[in-house]
A and B are shown apart, each in its own frame.
Chain A
Amino acid sequence: MTARRLDPALLLVAPAVLYLAVVYAVPLGLLLVKSVRMPDGFSLSSFVAFFADPFSWRVLGNTLRIALWTTLVCLLVGYPVAFALARAKGLPQTALLVALILPLSVGVVVKAFAWQILLRRDGLVSGTLVSLGIVDEPMRLLFTETGLVIGAVNVFLPFMVMPLYSVIRQIDPRLMEAAATLGAGPFHAFRRVLLPLTLPGAVAGIAFVFSLSIAMYVIPSLLIGDRFQTLATLTGRSFLFMRNERLGSTTAAVLLAVAIAVVMGSGWLARRMGAAR
């Protein structure tokens, strides 16, 4: 008898692995191969050409800038929401959770169209800003980067709140009380206790929102239009309209590299902070 036995856990993940391999990994591999396959063999020439073009750098910059702003706003808005969610009880908590989760069931296209209406010059957002006296005259937010970030934050906020919420929920409220009885004012207690304890949740949320926002396609297409290209919209255009498979596969590969860097970087950060406590 051999002592070798299959770990039962492997059997549990087998269906998922098989599924992902067939419908995801294989096509992705084919796509990546396209980016390095030339009529006369393999070469990185399409990447060289891509990075030699200033337009590509603008697209890369657009992608990262929009994703950074979206992530930052999600973080600033999501943090207090996650706290409210974790500290609320009973009906208010359920209501908050529903308000957060339910919009996920509304398609992104529908939401983006709704934001088109809200962000127009005569839309609700502009009207509110005027009546609050924040701006002097109606302004058009549609087809601006600000409008795009507003729309993207709306769609991706739950992906920031949920990991934060699940971490905050685990934190014993007595820790903040202990900090206070030791002489720590609210700011010191937040900075030295809550912030470090919630960081893993924030890192997870940042990874989610950042990778979702560098890859978003529908939202920029509807809220900012063709003049503003990101890696994702350029990839889509290359395949759908320009029939330029080489450019499309190249931008897809760059996008993938950025996404992997973000996910691995945040995973590493989360592990380090997990080990530190």
Chain B
Amino acid sequence: MVAFLDIGGAEKRFGAAAVLQGVDLSVAKGEFVSLLGPSGCGKTTLLRIVAGLLAPDRGTVVLDGADILRLPPHKRDVGVVFQNYALFPHLSVAENVAFGLRAHGRPAAETDATVAKFLDLVRMGEFARRPVQMLSGGQQQRVAVARALAVGPKLMLFDEPFSALDRKLRETMQIELRRLLRDLGTTAIFVTHDQDEALVMSDRIAIMNRGAIEQLAAPAEIYESPATAFALDFVGLSTRFEGKVVACAGGTAEIETAAGRLLGKGNYIPGARVTVGVRPERVRVGGALEPGENGVELPLRDAVYLGSKLLLHFDLPEPDRAVAEIGAAGFVLPAAGTRATLRWHFDDTLVFPEAPAP
């Protein structure tokens, strides 16, 4: 992959707090990468550094082969859609979209045509003359997107643009924005703390935690092979046990957990603390343990009916938890408190070394 955007070793401190601790991120041309992480992990800080609104303490930012770190924001060709939209309150919808084109000194006729084109693309054409304050949140969002895209930036940055919208609208906007960016061939980094949003929209997802990127991979890989216990917890549901390696031979570790002994892949020193995880749809409930399977017996806490499937939650003391997803058809639900066997294949067992203390 030839990197179109290349962030290397970005560090930023605010006083005593190390907000970014060496972030590396490469994005290919036309790619859509989500930055997914909990609130306060440094997502906005990273975006501001790329946009030129904040100087990193250390690191490089290369866009389209040019080092842009020393360029002011208005010379970077990086568009931003801010979390609160930041529309110009004294301008109409069309004037907001025209702002960047005028700043670039485009001829008036070209500006008008471009404004009309982008307002149509975000389906806001009929609102062109409205003052922006009279728009709903979703409409303001569309204007902000049109305004940023109209100048044709090399790279687009989105900072949780849909977090203020209700769920239904959010899902529509996700699909529309993704289609629009694909049609325009725009490279984009999209910040979100909503895993579903990241899974739906992204070519790749960067899992960010405490100022560092823990994994950068396609959505399926993030879900199926999380690189860290944090990635396992943050994306999707999972069963997880805290444990201690008691023996390790030939790349297979035997791990002592509160629910019993489990086998997992990896080379660990005996005594090492690890987290063992498995995704809910890999877990089977009931039946006899087969060769090559891990199994635990746990009391059922509750079942959540989701139409085609059931989510079964089992009783475990914190921070451990166990959840299984099974087809709802024909499954006879045991009463709460009944002990059931959970089994899953050894290959589906994920083992992570304990995260270093914060």
The answer to whether the Cβ of B300 comes within 8 Å of any Cβ in the partner chain is: no
Contact between chains at A185 and B131 (CB < 8 Å): no
The answer to whether the Cβ of B82 comes within 8 Å of any Cβ in the partner chain is: yes
Please, how many angstroms separate the alpha-carbon atoms of A185 and B99 in the complex? Answer: 12
Residues of A142-156 whose CB lies within 8 A of B: none
Contact between chains at A188 and B103 (CB < 8 Å): yes
The answer to whether the Cβ of B19 comes within 8 Å of any Cβ in the partner chain is: no
Please, how many angstroms separate the alpha-carbon atoms of A182 and B100 in the complex? Answer: 5
The answer to whether the Cβ of A89 comes within 8 Å of any Cβ in the partner chain is: no
The answer to whether the Cβ of A276 comes within 8 Å of any Cβ in the partner chain is: yes
Contact between chains at B51 and A181 (CB < 8 Å): yes
Shortest B130–chain A CB gap in Å is: 12
Residues of A within 8 A of B99 (CB): 179, 182, 184, 192
Residues of A within 8 A of B76 (CB): 181
Contact between chains at A277 and B103 (CB < 8 Å): no
> Which of the candidate stretches A60-68, A99-107, A169-177 sits at the interface with the other chain?
A169-177
The answer to whether the Cβ of B84 comes within 8 Å of any Cβ in the partner chain is: yes
Contact between chains at A178 and B104 (CB < 8 Å): no
Residues of A within 8 A of B148 (CB): 181-182
Shortest A82–chain B CB gap in Å is: 18
Contact between chains at A178 and B86 (CB < 8 Å): yes
**Selected contact of A181 from candidates B74, B88, B91, B131, CB within 8 Å:** B74
**Selected contact of A174 from candidates B79, B82, B103, B147, CB within 8 Å:** B82
Between B82, B88, B91, B131, the greatest number of chain A beta carbons within 10 A of the residue's beta carbon is seen for B88
> If A177-B53, A179-B103 touch, does A184 touch B74 (CB 8 Å cutoff)?
yes
Residues of A within 8 A of B89 (CB): 175, 197, 277
Contact between chains at B103 and A183 (CB < 8 Å): yes
Contact between chains at A174 and B73 (CB < 8 Å): no
The answer to whether the Cβ of A267 comes within 8 Å of any Cβ in the partner chain is: no
Shortest A186–chain B CB gap in Å is: 8
Contact between chains at B147 and A182 (CB < 8 Å): yes
Contact between chains at A182 and B79 (CB < 8 Å): yes
The answer to whether the Cβ of A236 comes within 8 Å of any Cβ in the partner chain is: no
Closest A residue, CB atoms, query B76 = A181
Shortest B79–chain A CB gap in Å is: 6
Interface string of A261-277 (1 = CB under 8 A from B): 00000000000000011
The answer to whether the Cβ of B36 comes within 8 Å of any Cβ in the partner chain is: no
Interface size on A, as a range, is 20 to 34
The answer to whether the Cβ of B7 comes within 8 Å of any Cβ in the partner chain is: no
Shortest A66–chain B CB gap in Å is: 33
**Selected contact of B90 from candidates A172, A179, A189, A196, CB within 8 Å:** A196
Contact between chains at A181 and B84 (CB < 8 Å): no
**Selected contact of A183 from candidates B51, B91, B151, CB within 8 Å:** B151
Please, how many angstroms separate the alpha-carbon atoms of A197 and B102 in the complex? Answer: 18
Residues of A within 8 A of B103 (CB): 179, 182-185, 188-189, 192
Please, how many angstroms separate the alpha-carbon atoms of A182 and B161 in the complex? Answer: 17
Contact between chains at A181 and B90 (CB < 8 Å): no
Residues of B within 8 A of A177 (CB): 51, 53, 73, 80, 82, 86
Residues of A within 8 A of B147 (CB): 182
Residues of A within 8 A of B86 (CB): 172, 174-175, 177-178
**Selected contact of A182 from candidates B52, B53, B84, B151, CB within 8 Å:** B151
Shortest A87–chain B CB gap in Å is: 15
Residues of B within 8 A of A180 (CB): 52-53, 72-74
> If A183-B100, A184-B100, A277-B131 touch, does A178 touch B82 (CB 8 Å cutoff)?
yes
Please, how many angstroms separate the alpha-carbon atoms of A175 and B72 in the complex? Answer: 16
Closest B residue, CB atoms, query A197 = B90
Contact between chains at B104 and A181 (CB < 8 Å): no
Shortest B238–chain A CB gap in Å is: 37
Contact between chains at A172 and B74 (CB < 8 Å): no
Shortest A90–chain B CB gap in Å is: 14
Please, how many angstroms separate the alpha-carbon atoms of A277 and B87 in the complex? Answer: 12
> If A181-B74, A183-B74 touch, does A277 touch B90 (CB 8 Å cutoff)?
yes
Please, how many angstroms separate the alpha-carbon atoms of A224 and B91 in the complex? Answer: 47
Pick 27 A–B contacts, CB within 8 A, sort by A: A172-B84, A172-B86, A174-B82, A174-B84, A174-B86, A175-B89, A177-B51, A177-B80, A177-B82, A178-B87, A179-B103, A180-B52, A180-B53, A181-B52, A182-B74, A182-B79, A182-B147, A183-B74, A183-B100, A184-B74, A184-B99, A184-B100, A189-B74, A193-B90, A196-B90, A197-B89, A277-B131
8 smallest CB-CB distances across A and B, nearest first, come from: A182-B100, A277-B90, A184-B103, A180-B73, A178-B86, A174-B86, A181-B80, A183-B103
